[in-house]
Amino acid sequence: MTQTFEGSLAELEKIVTEMETGDLPLQHALELFERGIHLSRYCQQQLNDAERKVELLVKGQDGTILTTSFDKEND
């Protein structure tokens, strides 16, 4: 099964919600924590990769990064 950013984030949110109840056996809590760390690292890597891709797409011909705001309205 291919892991997606969105699916991983949803699973991570579910884990956080489950762990917040505090009614888990220690072993299960540790397993959820371990899975949560794995998902968190995966999501962070996906975000880092996306950021690098955006930087490549907006790099000027001379190699400088053209910085623009994502929420800037189109003129």
- 10-residue mean pLDDT profile of the chain (75 residues): values are 89 96 92 97 94 78 67 47
Residue extents of the structural domains in the chain:
5-57
What length is written for the chain? 75
Whose CA is closest to 68, among 39, 37, 40, 60? 60
Whole-structure pTM over 0.85, yes or no? Answer: no
Residue 15 and residue 29 in contact, taking contact as beta carbons nearer than 8 Å:
no
Q: Look at residue 63 in the predicted model and tell me its pLDDT.
A: 72
Domain 5-57: give its CATH code: 1.10.287.1040
Q: Look at residue 55 in the predicted model and tell me its pLDDT.
A: 77
